[in-house]
């Protein structure tokens, strides 16, 4: 039997799309419109590899539990269908590169398993895709989770089935002249992991691999990331009063191989108008595409700490310096 390599990659219309645009429209245009190759930082590659390791281990743990586990869009109760984590990450590297980080990431994983030989709860979902759409439901406008059956819905449909079986009426992009005008505005996320306690309390987890785990310093940075607002909005709709919140599984990728599992602080003010911000950013992006077809000349944030961030210089910095001439440097 051919064993499964779990897709732990980014989702098709995830937060990174509009999040990158919000951070800097020019950076978005380099990657998404000019299709320039921007080498991901080593930390990002290690993060992807870490996700593959964690996804396989937690899928195996989930499959042996009473309830079974959803992985991607399929339910499983047989752990033998999954590749073991170490084989999976080696296969991932064969397609995506990253062999230079293999030894370090395997050691990180082995240290993690030695410290936490059990999952942080009963694993019920791994790399689970969630689709949400901006629209009206029961008289309220917002970002609504779509039922799994309807996750590939026609973006021009007038009605979509909601997670709870109700009806969502999408409010589509309104940008005359744009090819997507009239199409629903969709946000997708992949939940790294969902756990459920005996009493029913359910938590969404995100794995983060860091060179230095300092839980107190990290949580606010993650909490303000728009992707976590989306997780919380989705979690509340999917699990109602059983939703316990968002957890971070912070894993240090070097000595002393620290692991911390803090909860992500709530951000009620931002979450309450997240859908409106998403609506506005989608329209700002569409308007720019109609009005400013020269992608090299899109607005640039040009800010010291935005351009040189947590993982070092922005991968587009040379393009901002020299334009298309940087392609040959």
Q: Give residues in contact with ligand SF4 (CB under 6 A).
A: 24, 26-27, 300-302, 306-307, 314, 316-317, 320
135 or 315: CB nearest ligand SF4:
315
Strand partners, 243: 202
Rounded least distance, CB 304 to ligand SF4, Å: 9
Nearest approach in angstroms of CB 24 to ligand SF4 is: 3
Q: Are 129 and 73 in contact (CB under 8 A)?
A: yes
Q: How far is the CB of 310 from ligand SF4 (least distance, A)?
A: 13
Closest by CA to 271, choosing from 235, 308, 310, is: 235
Per DSSP, the residues of 154-197 read: -TT-S-EEBTTS-EEEE-----TTSTTTTS--EEEEEEEEEEE-
CB of 34 to ligand SF4, least distance (A): 11
Q: Which is nearer to ligand SF4, 130 or 320 (CB)?
A: 320
249/205 Cα distance (integer angstroms): 7
CA angle (84, 11, 188) in 5-degree steps: 130
Q: Which residues contact 261 (CB under 8 A, 6 or more apart)?
A: 120, 247, 248, 249, 250
**Of 290 and 313, which has the nearer Cβ to ligand SF4?**
313
- Closest approach of ligand SF4 to the CB of residue 315, in Å: 7
Closer by beta carbon to ligand SF4, 265 or else 323? 323
For ligand SF4, give the closer residue by CB, 5 or 307.
Answer: 307
Separation in Å, CA 166 to CA 16, 148, 170, 227, 316 = 28, 13, 13, 25, 43
- In the numeric block, which tokens belong to residue 166? 């109700």
Write down the least CB distance from residue 294 to ligand SF4, Å: 15
The burial of 165, by beta-carbon neighbours within 10 Å (0-12 exposed, 13-18 middle, 19 or more buried), is given as exposed
Nearer to ligand SF4 among residue 4 and residue 43 (C-beta) = 43
- Give the three-state DSSP class for 261: coil
Quick one: 26 or 249, whose CB is closer to ligand SF4?
26
CB of 98 to ligand SF4, least distance (A): 23
Residue 313 Cβ vs ligand SF4, minimum distance, rounded to whole Å: 7
Beta carbon nearer to ligand SF4, 181 or 306: 306
Which residues are CB-contacts of 194 (< 8 A; sequence separation ≥ 6)?
Answer: 123, 124, 125, 126, 128, 202, 203, 204, 205
Separation between Cα atoms, residue 292 and residue 22, nearest integer Å = 17
Give the DSSP letter of residue 13. Answer: T
Place of tokens 């595409």: 289
CB of 303 to ligand SF4, least distance (A): 7
- Smaller CB separation from ligand SF4, 113 or 224: 224
């Amino acid at each position: 039997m051919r064993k499964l390599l779990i897709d732990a990659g980014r989702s098709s219309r995830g937060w990174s799309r509009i999040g990158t645009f919000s951070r800097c429209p020019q950076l978005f245009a380099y990657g998404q419109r000019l299709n320039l190759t921007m080498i991901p930082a080593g930390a990002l590659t290690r993060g992807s590899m870490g996700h593959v390791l964690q996804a396989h281990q937690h899928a195996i743990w989930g499959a042996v539990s009473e309830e079974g586990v959803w992985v991607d869009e399929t339910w499983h109760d047989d752990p033998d269908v999954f590749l073991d984590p170490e084989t999976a990450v080696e296969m991932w590297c064969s397609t995506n590169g990253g062999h230079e980080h293999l030894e370090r990431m395997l050691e990180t994983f082995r240290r993690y398993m030695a410290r936490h030989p059990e999952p942080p709860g009963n694993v019920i979902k791994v790399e689970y895709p969630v689709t949400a759409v901006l629209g009206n439901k029961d008289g309220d406008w917002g970002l609504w989770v779509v039922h799994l059956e309807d996750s590939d819905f026609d973006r021009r449909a007038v009605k979509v089935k909601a997670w709870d079986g109700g009806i969502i009426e999408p409010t589509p992009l309104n940008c005359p002249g744009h090819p997507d005008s009239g199409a629903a505005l969709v946000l997708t996320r992949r939940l790294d992991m969902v756990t459920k306690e005996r009493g029913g309390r359910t938590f969404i987890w995100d794995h983060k691999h860091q060179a230095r785990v300092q839980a107190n310093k990290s949580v606010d940075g993650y909490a303000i990331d728009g992707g976590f607002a989306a997780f919380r909005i989705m979690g509340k709709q999917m699990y109602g009063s059983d939703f316990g919140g968002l957890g971070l599984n912070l894993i240090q990728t070097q000595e002393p191989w620290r692991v911390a599992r803090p909860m992500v602080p709530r951000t009620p003010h931002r979450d309450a108008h997240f859908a409106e911000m998403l609506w506005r950013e989608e329209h700002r992006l569409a308007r720019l595409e109609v009005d400013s077809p020269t992608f090299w000349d899109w607005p640039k944030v040009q800010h010291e700490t935005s351009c040189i961030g947590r993982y070092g210089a922005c991968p587009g910095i040379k393009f901002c310096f020299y334009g298309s001439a940087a392609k040959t440097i």
